[in-house]
Amino acid sequence: MPFRSLETADLKGKTALVRVDFNVPVENGAVTDDTRLRAALPTIHFLSSKGAKVVLLAHFDRPKGKRVPEMSLGFVAEPLSKLLEQPVAFADDCVGADAKAVIDGLEAGGVALLENVRFHAGEEKNDPEFAAQLAALGDLYVNDAFSAAHRAHASTEGVARLLPAYPGLSMQRELEALDAALGQPQRPVIGIVGGSKVSTKLDLLQNLVGKLDKLAIGGGMANTFLFAQGHDIGASFAEKDMADTAREILEKAKANTCEILLPIDVVVAEKMEAGVASRTCGLGEITDVDRILDAGTKSADRLIAAIAQCKTLIWNGPLGVFEIPPFDAATVAVAKEAGRLAKSGALIAVAGGGDTVAAMNHAGVAGELTFVSTAGGAFLEWMEGKALPGVEALQA
Ligand code: ADP
Ligand code: MG
């Protein structure tokens, strides 16, 4: 992908408009998880150290084009300033005279945060006039919010068309990791797709079976596939109306010589609850009251062996109900092995998705994998093979 490089940009005395994702979790006005603030630090430090004024653009919550005081981004300035160890000026509006006055007041290397871009209806509409008002504030545009790149909004797409545009350092790292996992992967490449429903991950499955050498399907969606293949799945959660679709995906995999790995044994219980009696059994031993809640040890071992034969792993969705032990066992066992291989350099392992990030943290391997994407919807759309407007707009 041809991107301009921030490293070679002329930054001294320039004003950089930087799109960040500061849509952080908050309780009683305090940030409860500052991961997203930390993600922006390398780019801010870099621009600041090169003598640019750094002007941060971000959205918070869903004010739907109106000024909603409870959705002001003002509360972020102080925690950000502490992390940066430098002052952060705050402007009451993201365009117009207020914004301009705050930016004019910055010294070279100074940092300002502008008010929630979604206070203006033009943001989500990607209104060209609003984008032009944003662009008027800076000399260049930097997008460091991969997690917002699946939206074609004025601050993620429109403004990028009006100024010289660059990926920020976190964005660049994420794009490189994703490209290494699915764009130009070292082969063989294996995928794991789990989670609850086939219906929410159809596009993803369709795209992956056309690109991967092997694909393991787990979680609740595996039940639908097992049902589609004629197995008795007892009282398991499944989308029985998706059976035809599941068979189509298996056909497409075959046509593309993508080997599909479905569970060969399962962990079942009568209820999806902590403390219930459970057992591991073969596919022919599931009774009417059984619910499949995890893949069995044989399935996990076979998947671990398959990963060991591959050079690249891409993972979205847990293999079982990992929130309720012991139904976390397959996910944790496979994650630990992926972590070990990635750490040793034998495997490129990239994982993403809301619950998947939680599962990798639960397994204690988030720091060992090559890359863990916290981008949520943007990560899934990228896995579906869709072009992300915020990334497209950065291409030189
Ligand atoms: P992500 O957020 O990473 O994209 P999903 O939301 O698709 O992942 O899936 C995660 C959810 O799938 C978890 O809450 C997990 O409990 C559920 N799940 C996994 N296996 C099963 C199963 N066998 N039956 C029901 N739910 C399951
Ligand atoms: Mg989820």
Ligand 1 in reach of 356 Cβ (< 6 A): yes
User: Hey, where are the domains in the chain?
Assistant: 6-170, 185-383
Beta-bridge partner residues of 349:
313
How far does the centroid of ligand 2 lie from the alpha carbon of residue 368, in Å?
22
pTM: 0.94
Single-letter amino acid, residue 2: P
Residue-level pLDDT at 396: 79
Task: Say which DSSP state 279 is in.
Answer: E
Residue 38's pLDDT is what? 96
Closest CA relative to residue 266, chosen from 237, 294, 238 = 294
Query: Which CATH number does 6-170 carry?
Result: 3.40.50.1260
Rounded to an integer, what distance in angstroms lies between the CA atom of residue 201 and that of residue 196? 9
List alpha helices for the chain, DSSP H.
35-49, 77-84, 96-104, 121-125, 128-135, 169-178, 202-209, 219-228, 243-255, 297-308, 329-344, 354-363, 377-383, 389-392
- Print pLDDT tens along the chain (396 aa): 688 999 999 999 999 999 999 999 999 989 999 999 999 999 999 999 999 999 999 999 999 999 999 999 999 999 999 999 999 999 999 999 999 999 999 999 999 999 999 999 999 999 999 999 999 999 999 999 999 999 999 999 999 999 999 999 999 999 999 999 999 999 999 999 999 998 999 999 999 999 999 999 999 999 999 999 999 999 999 999 999 999 999 999 999 999 999 999 999 999 999 999 999 999 999 999 999 999 999 999 999 999 999 999 999 999 999 999 999 999 999 999 999 999 999 999 999 999 999 999 999 999 999 999 999 999 999 999 999 999 999 997
> Rounded to the nearest whole angstrom, what is the distance from the C-alpha of residue 321 to the centroid of ligand 2?
12
Length of the chain: 396
Q: Is the Cβ atom of 352 under 6 angstroms away from ligand 1? A: no
Check if the beta carbon of residue 330 is closer than 8 Å to that of residue 305. no
CA distance linking residue 10 with residue 172, whole number of Å: 18
Q: Is 301 in the pocket of ligand 1 (CB under 6 A)?
A: no
pLDDT at residue number 2: 82
Pick the residue whose CA is nearest to atom 9 on ligand 1.
Answer: 195
Distances (CA, A) of 247 to 99, 123, 195, 232: 55, 42, 18, 16
111-114 sheet: strands from edge to edge: 88-91, 111-114, 53-57, 15-19, 140-143, 165-167
Q: Is 196 in the pocket of ligand 1 (CB under 6 A)?
A: yes
Q: What fold is seen in the domain 185-383?
A: Rossmann fold (3.40.50)
| Dist. CA 357 → ligand 1 center (Å) | 12
What is the separation, in whole angstroms, between the first and last Cα of the chain?
A: 9
CA of 380: how far to CAs of 371, 383, 391, in Å? Answer: 15, 5, 14
Query: What are the backbone angles phi and psi of residue 268, rounded to the nearest 5°?
Result: -120, 155
pLDDT at 153: 98
Ligand 1, atom 11, lies closest to the CA of 195
Domains 6-170 and 185-383 share a fold: yes
Q: Phi/psi zone of residue 29: left (φ > 0), alpha (ψ -120 to 50 degrees), beta? A: left
Q: Residue 1's pLDDT is what? A: 61
Q: Is 216 helix (H, G, I), strand (E, B) or coil?
A: strand
Q: Record the tokens describing residue 367, joined without a space.
A: 């720091």
Residue positions annotated with a catalytic role: 36, 197, 354, 377
Q: What is the DSSP annotation of 49-71?
A: HTT-EEEEE---S--TTS--GGG
Measured from the Cβ of residue 387, the count of other Cβ atoms closer than 10 Å reads 11
